[in-house]
Amino acid sequence: MKSLRFVLAALTVTLAAQETSPVPTATAIFERTKAATVIILTGEGAGRLRSIATGIIISRDGVLLTALHAIKDAAEVQVRMANGEVFDRVELLGYDERRDVAALKISTGNLPALASGSSVNLAQGDPVYAVTNAGGLAWSATEGILSAIRPAEEVPGAGSGFRLLQFSAPVAAGSSGGALVDRSGALIGIITSAKGSAGFAIPIESIMGLADSGHRTALGSGSSLQMPARIASDVPQSSAAIIDVDPKRTLRDAKTIYIHSKTAFLTVDTLDRTLALQKDWPKLGLTIVQDKRVADLLIEIDRPLFTYIHTFVIVDKRTSILLGSGKVTAFDGTIASGGLAKDIVKIFAAVRLPPSSK
């Protein structure tokens, strides 16, 4: 009887301790996640910034996870921590092409790693949290709920053969590679994409072994990469600033272009490839970037509904001033891209190339 009373007493103490165990507040979760979240800068070479992504530290000795597409084919990679430390030497430990996740390593120790959780016990409607570099705004905190755990086959363009965590916490460009954490602050997924208002993450238990391949591949040094200056492109420009803009000089001095398509009939990739085939394109010294925030100029392509007219406009990102435009009538976007690319190159060549080489 004494033994039974002892067991019951011990069980009561254990249950009481569990009931009084403090649940971390959202603020505490965000602070812990922020400390383990990094900015990943990738470059095209010679310090030309290509994209900004997010990574999450999973091991105190410098192992982190991010989205594979964020670093794939990058000439330069740099990692920046919330405490201000910058690492220019980054190694690739492993990757999963199907799930779009990569494991990286920086040479340091005693880092604020995030504890791993599991999606096994998650239920629809459970609260989830994320800290990412969405929209270039470093260490932005968002919260939402777990919307569903579904096969990738159910998500258009996601792939097949794995599961995805669908969640409602807002994500945007720059969120790729960020951490999705549960109500205890444990890492449950790596954010890889967004489709409309839904975000998607890869369950952490399916990718934890990426860092254990035993191989190390040094990535290009990111020592020349810098965060882009915060140009207030969303703030209305003063009339004086716009008056001072010389369209020809803007076209001549630009270094980077971001292409956006408003139509499914003519894709960005199609125009990108067609531009590369133009004889004078390599002479222009222009780089097409995948991140709008680091672009000097914007090219927008479109095909208005119920027409075969394909259009383009070239715009100065800083002032939104129209620098050039054109249109081609064609049944097919692939065919139209040839005419559009030719006109785009002609506009730039007029101010960037000497008369003898045009």
The yes-or-no answer on residue 100 being catalytic is yes
Domain assignment of residue 177, given as a range: 127-204
Same domain, 103 and 214: yes
Predicted confidence (pLDDT) at residue 321 exceeds the cutoff of 90: no
Residue 21 lies in a domain: no
Predicted confidence (pLDDT) at residue 14 exceeds the cutoff of 50: no
Same domain, 244 and 353: yes
Say how many domains are in the chain.
3
Predicted confidence (pLDDT) at residue 50 exceeds the cutoff of 90: no
Q: Which of 51, 100, 193, 337 is catalytic?
A: 100
Cα within 13 Å of Cα(199), Cβ side: 30
The yes-or-no answer on residue 69 being catalytic is yes
Residue 316 lies in a domain: yes
pLDDT digits (tens, 9 = 90+) for 92-126: 999 999 999 999 999 888 899 999 998 888 999 99
pLDDT digits (tens, 9 = 90+) for 124-138: 999 999 988 876 678
Same domain, 70 and 214: yes
Strand order from edge to edge, sheet including 256-261: 287-288, 256-261, 297-302, 309-316, 322-329
pLDDT digits (tens, 9 = 90+) for 206-239: 998 898 877 889 999 999 888 875 433 344 444 4
pTM exceeds cut of 0.75: no
Same domain, 214 and 251: no
Same domain, 261 and 345: yes
Cα(31)–Cα(16) distance, integer angstroms = 28
Q: Which of 51, 119, 176, 193 is catalytic?
A: 176
Residue 149 lies in a domain: yes
Provide the pLDDT for residue 79.
96
pLDDT digits (tens, 9 = 90+) for 327-342: 999 988 899 999 999 9
Same domain, 194 and 214: no
Q: What is the CATH number of the domain that holds 151?
A: 2.40.10.10
Provide the pLDDT for residue 195.
60
Q: Which of 69, 261, 316, 337 is catalytic?
A: 69
pLDDT digits (tens, 9 = 90+) for 233-289: 344 444 444 444 578 889 999 999 999 988 888 889 999 999 999 999 999 999 998
Residue 20 lies in a domain: no
Same domain, 214 and 193: no
The yes-or-no answer on residue 310 being catalytic is no
What is the rounded average pLDDT of the residues 134-155? 86
Query: 76-81 and 86-87: which strand pairing?
Result: antiparallel
